[in-house]
Amino acid sequence: MEKITNSDKVLLLGKSDFLVDVSKGLFHTNHGTINLSKLVGKKFGVKIKSSKGELFYVLRPNINDFLDKRLARLPQIISLKDCSLIAGYTGLSSGYRVVEAGTGSAFLTTFMANLVKPDGKIFTYELRTDFFKSAKKNIDDSSLSAFIDAKNKDVSKGFREKDVDLVVLDMIGAEKIVSKARKALKSGGFLVVYSPYIEQVKVVCAAIEMESFVDVRTIECLVRDYKITRDFSRPNTTMLAHTGYITFARKV
């Protein structure tokens, strides 16, 4: 029943992986050209051969395929491990209403939109016009734009959303938004601040301390990859050792 239409995006897994619009028709790769129009009417899961004879699996992409292979990264993104903890530790799920600042590349924006659908909404603010334009393209490309309200506005001038479940701040000067964030949150709602440096963590925690929040917690998340073979098992030799600190607080 999962048939491919001309308006679908497909994930091509082969020697290289791609996420492409079927409507593109011909898709050129280092491994040969792929005639996407032949996929229409086929089922997700089929294989397709390129002009050079290379095989590609054709899958229905999910949010992570989009984030990994399609989203243009202009400013630094919040990595998937950190997005996962932000969502998991705040109970983010369908129906949540979220304020985010700044939008950046819209990585976390689209990640969250995928979780709050079909009833929730992400209100996201970005000050810089170049970032906003890039983010907007990513959002429009994500099939999740119905759940995102993106604004090219200075969040420090305030925002109108009320009774939101979550406010996420990933911006310079986040400490100045803490009080505004509290006002926008419903009782029991969460404030999350992502800080690349310990200095920002400190000023943010000081700002949080001035307001009525409980369960204040700052963490960092380390994901260690393993190499597992029949004979030799060990952690990978190198790892991503630092992305940022995540501070959580809950409004009362």
Output the smallest distance, CB 61 to a second copy, in A.
Answer: 8
Phi, psi torsion values for 208, nearest 5 degrees: -65, -40
Pick one of 13, 128, 145, 152: the residue that binds a second copy (CB under 8 A).
13
Instruction: For residue 87, state whether it binds a second copy (rule: CB under 8 A).
Output: yes
Residues 152-171: x where in contact with a second copy by CB under 8 A, - otherwise, as a string: -----------x--------
Q: First vs last Cα of the chain: how many Å apart?
A: 48
Interface segment toward a second copy; rule CB under 8 A; list 18-26, 32-40, 115-123, 176-184 = 115-123
CA distances from 154 to 56, 78, 158, 178, 196 (A): 44, 20, 8, 14, 21
Instruction: For residue 238, state whether it binds a second copy (rule: CB under 8 A).
Output: yes
CA distances from 37 to 24, 125, 132, 144, 223 (A): 8, 38, 33, 24, 40
Instruction: For residue 40, state whether it binds a second copy (rule: CB under 8 A).
Output: no
Interface segment toward a second copy; rule CB under 8 A; list 34-42, 154-162, 169-177, 201-209 = 201-209
Instruction: For residue 136, state whether it binds a second copy (rule: CB under 8 A).
Output: no
CA distances from 249 to 160, 212, 215, 242 (A): 21, 9, 6, 22
CA distances from 7 to 21, 92, 139, 151, 168 (A): 7, 29, 17, 27, 33
Instruction: For residue 201, state whether it binds a second copy (rule: CB under 8 A).
Output: yes
Site for a second copy in 57-76 (CB under 8 A): 57, 59-64
Q: Which is nearer to a second copy, 26 or 55 (CB)?
A: 55
Site for a second copy in 18-37 (CB under 8 A): none
